[in-house]
């Protein structure tokens, strides 16, 4: 129960999602097709420790992704789109000593239905 309260408090305190620079220990909200969450980082000796926590809607079980990024590295989180729609992605990259969070659809990837073969 306390995990959900802490997760909700972190979501409320976070800034809205947009492409932009993220400061150390400053959370940013993300929305991946109904998966809501936050991203923050802490500087470590071997790189930026990036922590992303998401949950499906407000009642979903939270899932945490942790990655350590060095200069010019990136990581992406994606959620498959519905039939005929593009996937949704949030890309987190470290460039010029800054962490950038950039939500955008994956270009060119569309879920489609298989064609039925008539006999």
- The pLDDT tens digits for 30-62 are 888 888 888 999 999 999 999 999 998 888 899
d(CA 31, CA 56): 10
Residue 82 confidence (pLDDT):
79
d(CA 27, CA 19): 13
């Amino acid at each position: 129960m306390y995990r959900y309260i802490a997760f909700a408090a972190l979501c409320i305190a976070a800034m809205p999602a947009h492409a932009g620079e993220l400061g150390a220990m400053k959370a940013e909200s993300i929305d991946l097709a109904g998966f809501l969450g936050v991203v923050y980082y802490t500087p470590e000796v071997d790189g930026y420790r990036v922590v992303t926590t998401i949950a499906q809607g407000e009642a979903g079980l939270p899932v945490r992704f942790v990655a350590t990024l060095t200069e010019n590295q990136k990581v992406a989180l994606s959620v498959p789109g519905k039939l005929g729609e593009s996937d949704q992605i949030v890309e987190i990259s470290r460039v010029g000593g800054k962490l950038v969070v950039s939500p955008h659809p994956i270009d060119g990837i569309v879920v489609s239905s298989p064609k039925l073969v008539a006999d």
